[in-house]
Structure 1
Amino acid sequence: MDERLKRLRAADRISAPTIIRALLPTMVRQRGDRLLGQDAALTAGFGQTATGQRLAVLGVDRGNDLASRRSKNGGALTVPGYRTALRVVQHAQKFGMPVVSLINMPGADASPVSERFGQSQAIADLIAATGQLPVPNLVIFLGEGHSGGALGFANANRIMMLDDALFNVASPEAVAAILHGQQTVSDAIDLLPMTATDLAERGLVDQVVSHETPKLVDTLISLIETQLQDLSQWDGLALIAQREAKFQHFLDTWPIN
């Protein structure tokens, strides 16, 4: 396995639940979609920061040992996960709370069960809802974020990534497989703009943070508060327009030379 992927998928990788616990001393969890059940990979709910800011949070986590990774499906969200996230986003809009997402996932679950219960529609509903939010939303990629499964959370005003994180239409292994062995997994990472540096150069990522930063959790919390303070000056229509402009600018840089 590529050394970069080993680091991203290490058991001691910083996780969304760790950051959420530090960010929100008080939090009310939302569990399940009221139809199909609960997705263990998703930490979602509402809370208040130490400075008094009310937030909605969405965190996707792979797990840190064999048992937790099995229970969390390796971070591949199922339909209940996306529908629970959608419920949180809708409540955030109703009550005027910013949305913060923390992502480390291989993509959406692609099992026959998820497809049967409308996985693609659940993802599309979340993408549409986050794009039309009249409140600030931001996402931090802590590890990997691939496919539309990650894009559901990334339709955001601000996108931040750890410097070794990846965000792409497919995982490096999937890209290599699609190319029928013409590229190695390592080459696939460099072939497409999936690294934090590449995406920042194209204007999609707003801030890159070193994964070796001392007191990384505290640093990320400070950055979240700073970004939300800046976005709080924008009205709802401006926030929606800014998200659209961000992705349109990225599309305008395509194809890659």
Structure 2
Amino acid sequence: MDKRLQRLRAADRLSAPTVIQALLPTMTQQRGDRLLGQDLALTAGFGRTATGHQLAVLGVDRGIDIASRRQKNGGALTVPGYRTALRVVAHAAKFGWPVVSLINMPGADASPQSERYGQSQAIADLIAAMGQLPVPNIVVFLGEGHSGGALAFANANRIIMLDDALFNVASPEAVTAILHGQQTISEAIDLLPMTATALYERGLVDQVIDHQDQRLVATINQMIETQLATLASSPASVLIGQREAKFQHFLQSWPLN
């Protein structure tokens, strides 16, 4: 396996629950979608920061050992996960609370069960809800985030990535499979703009954080609060337009050269 992927998928990788616990000293969690149950990969709810700001948070986590990774499906969200996230986003829109997402996931679950329960629709609903949010939203990539499963959380006003994180339409393994093995995994990572640096250069990512920062959790949370402060006075129409403009600008960066 590529060394970059080994680092991203290591058991001691900084997790979304760890960042959320530091960001929101007190938090009320939302568990389940009231229909299919609970997705343990998702940490979702509401709380106040140490500075008194009310936030809604969504965190996707792979797990830290074999047992927890099985429980959390390796971070591949199922339909209940997306529907629970949608509940949180709806509450945030109603009460005027910014939404912060923290992501480390391979993508959405692609099992027959998830497809049977409407996985594609659940993802599409969250993408649409994020895009139309009348409040600011921010996503932080702590590790990997691939396919529409990650895009559902990344339709955001601000995108922040750790410098070794990846965000792409498909995982590096999927890219090599699509290319029928013409590229190694390492070459696939460099072929497409999926690294933090490449996406920052194309204007999709707003800030990049050194993953070796000795105060990494504090730095992430400080950056979140700073970005939220810059967006606080923006009207809903500006926030909605800003999200679309971000991705339109990125599309204009093609072709890759």
TM more than 0.5: yes
Distance 1:76 1:157 in 2: 24
Alignment of 1:14-93 (within 5 A): 14-93=14-93
Please state how far the C-alpha of 1:254 moved relative to its aligned partner. Answer: 1.4
- The one-letter code sitting in structure 2 at the alignment partner of 1:127 is I
Please state how far the C-alpha of 1:44 moved relative to its aligned partner. Answer: 0.1
Please state how far the C-alpha of 1:138 moved relative to its aligned partner. Answer: 0.2
Q: Deviations along 1:209-237, whole A, 9 cap, x unmatched?
A: 00001110011110000000000021111
Please state how far the C-alpha of 1:189 moved relative to its aligned partner. Answer: 0.2
Distance 1:30 1:255 in 2: 42
Q: 3-state SS of the aligned residue for 1:64? A: coil
**Counterpart position of 2:126:** 126
Distance 1:95 1:111 in 2: 35
Distance 1:124 1:5 in 2: 28
Distance 2:90 2:254 in 1: 32
Alignment of 1:140-159 (within 5 A): 140-159=140-159
- The one-letter code sitting in structure 1 at the alignment partner of 2:137 is N
Q: 3-state SS of the aligned residue for 2:167? A: strand
Distance 2:219 2:203 in 1: 22
Distance 1:49 1:75 in 2: 25
Q: 3-state SS of the aligned residue for 1:145? A: strand
**Counterpart position of 1:164:** 164
Distance 1:244 1:75 in 2: 27
Distance 2:253 2:183 in 1: 23
Distance 2:255 2:152 in 1: 23
- The one-letter code sitting in structure 2 at the alignment partner of 1:171 is S
Alignment TM-score, normalising by the size of structure 2: 1.00
Distance 2:100 2:117 in 1: 27
Distance 2:164 2:253 in 1: 22
**Counterpart position of 1:100:** 100
- The one-letter code sitting in structure 2 at the alignment partner of 1:57 is V
Distance 1:95 1:137 in 2: 14
Alignment of 1:174-185 (within 5 A): 174-185=174-185
**Counterpart position of 2:227:** 227
CA RMSD of aligned residues (A): 0.4
Distance 2:220 2:44 in 1: 18
Distance 1:28 1:233 in 2: 26
Distance 1:233 1:244 in 2: 19
Distance 2:241 2:26 in 1: 32
- The one-letter code sitting in structure 1 at the alignment partner of 2:32 is G
Q: 3-state SS of the aligned residue for 1:208? A: strand
> Percent identity, aligned pairs only?
79
Distance 1:114 1:43 in 2: 19
Distance 1:199 1:58 in 2: 22
Q: Deviations along 1:48-97, whole A, 9 cap, x unmatched?
A: 00110000000000000000000000000000000000000000000000
Please state how far the C-alpha of 1:256 moved relative to its aligned partner. Answer: 1.2
List gaps (5 residues or longer) in structure 2.
none
- The one-letter code sitting in structure 1 at the alignment partner of 2:24 is L
Count of residue pairs brought into register by the alignment: 257
Distance 1:160 1:56 in 2: 17
Distance 1:26 1:237 in 2: 31
Q: Deviations along 1:86-119, whole A, 9 cap, x unmatched?
A: 0000000000000000000000000000000000
Distance 2:253 2:165 in 1: 21
Please say if 1:117 is aligned against 2:126.
no
Alignment TM-score, normalising by the size of structure 1: 1.00
**Counterpart position of 1:196:** 196
